[in-house]
């Protein structure tokens, strides 16, 4: 797979990403139509037709989402397979006149592969569609759009707080883990000297101390991450409750649809 194939795969992912995000709008539109049309007209045929449409939209949304993840996973594996050998060869040649850290480039390749297959990239690709989603909700009704905007702002605040309170412990964890990995590399390169000088207990102790520091920092960061994730989930659930409640209140109050 060359660079052109990677570009084609990413283009296919972007196209499927557009379809996935557009189909996400089906659920709020369905809920609105039930409140605005079905409950007021009491038409079973309308309910059946809307349900068939929403089921198809949900199925296609799941299919498109699965396909974009399949493509990203295979692209990541192919990139790692294609670049692994050349990078290792270059690192081996460079290490003859270096410190041996050139092999860490392979770790960077693994990081790239992990990024391509992670949910982070998918979330990044979904961000440009957020304004479109909010605009569509505003077209349904300004009050519903206001609820979505308020939710987005709250989630943004929670995200910023999460980043602020987890950045330091995650950084400490990565630093300590890097030190532990350096101890392992040093032990591998100097195994004969370490055995000859009976330094195994000391080196193991140094590795264990850095590993313990890394794990402690990771636990502290993940604890904070879990708490902010719980707060985000509460906000999203309350948003759904608010939108559903407003959707039921609207026909009861006898209000007409918003003007386009």
User: How many separate domains does the chain show?
Assistant: 2
Q: Could you tell me where the DSSP H helices lie in the chain?
A: 3-24, 26-33, 39-41, 44-95, 104-117, 119-126, 130-140, 142-189, 191-196, 200-252
Vertex 22: Cα angle to 58 and 149 (nearest 5): 105
**Where a domain ends, among 84, 102, 128?**
128
Give the separation between CA 17 and CA 129, rounded to whole angstroms: 9
More confident position, 130 or 233: 233
| Domain ranges, residue 6 | 1-128
| pLDDT(170) > 80 | yes
| Two structure tokens written together for 61 | 């949304």
Residue found under tokens 């990081």: 111
**Residues 81, 180: one domain?**
no
**Residues 259, 202: one domain?**
yes
What pTM was computed for the model?
0.64
Give the separation between CA 61 and CA 27, rounded to whole angstroms: 11
- Which tens digit of pLDDT belongs to each residue from 95-124? 666 555 655 666 677 777 777 777 677 777
From residue 30, how far is each of 16, 56, 137 by CA, in Å?
A: 22, 12, 12
Residues 6+ apart with CB under 8 A from 136: 25, 28, 29
The answer to whether residue 100 sits within a structural domain is: yes
**Residues 240, 173: one domain?**
yes
For position 196, which CATH number holds? 1.20.1560.10
- Which tens digit of pLDDT belongs to each residue from 40-62? 677 788 888 888 988 998 899 88
Describe the crossing of helices 142-189 and 200-252 by its angle, rounded to 10 degrees: 170
| pLDDT(36) > 70 | no
């Amino acid at each position: 797979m060359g660079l052109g194939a990677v570009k084609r795969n990413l283009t296919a992912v972007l196209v499927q990403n557009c379809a996935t995000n557009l189909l996400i709008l089906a659920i709020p539109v369905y809920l609105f139509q039930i409140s605005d049309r079905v409950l007021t007209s009491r038409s079973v045929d309308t309910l059946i037709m809307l349900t068939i449409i929403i089921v198809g939209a949900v199925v296609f949304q799941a299919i498109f989402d699965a396909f974009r993840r399949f493509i990203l996973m295979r692209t990541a594996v192919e990139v790692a397979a294609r670049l692994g050998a050349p990078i290792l060869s270059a690192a081996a040649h460079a290490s003859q006149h270096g410190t041996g850290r050139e092999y860490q480039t392979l770790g960077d390749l693994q990081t790239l592969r992990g990024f391509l297959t992670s949910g982070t990239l998918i979330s990044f690709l979904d961000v440009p569609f957020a304004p479109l989603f909010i605009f569509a909700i505003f077209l349904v009704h300004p009050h519903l759009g206001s609820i979505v905007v308020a939710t987005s702002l709250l989630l943004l605040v929670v995200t910023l707080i999460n980043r602020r309170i987890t950045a330091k412990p995650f950084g400490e964890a990565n630093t300590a883990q890097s030190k532990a990995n350096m101890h392992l590399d040093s032990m591998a390169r100097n195994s004969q000297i370490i055995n000859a000088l009976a330094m195994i207990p000391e080196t193991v102790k140094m590795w264990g101390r850095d590993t313990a520091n890394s794990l402690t920092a990771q636990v502290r960061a993940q604890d904070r991450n879990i708490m902010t994730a719980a707060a985000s989930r509460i906000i999203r659930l309350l948003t759904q409750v608010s939108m559903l409640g407003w959707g039921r209140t609207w026909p009861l109050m006898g209000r007409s649809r918003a003007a386009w």
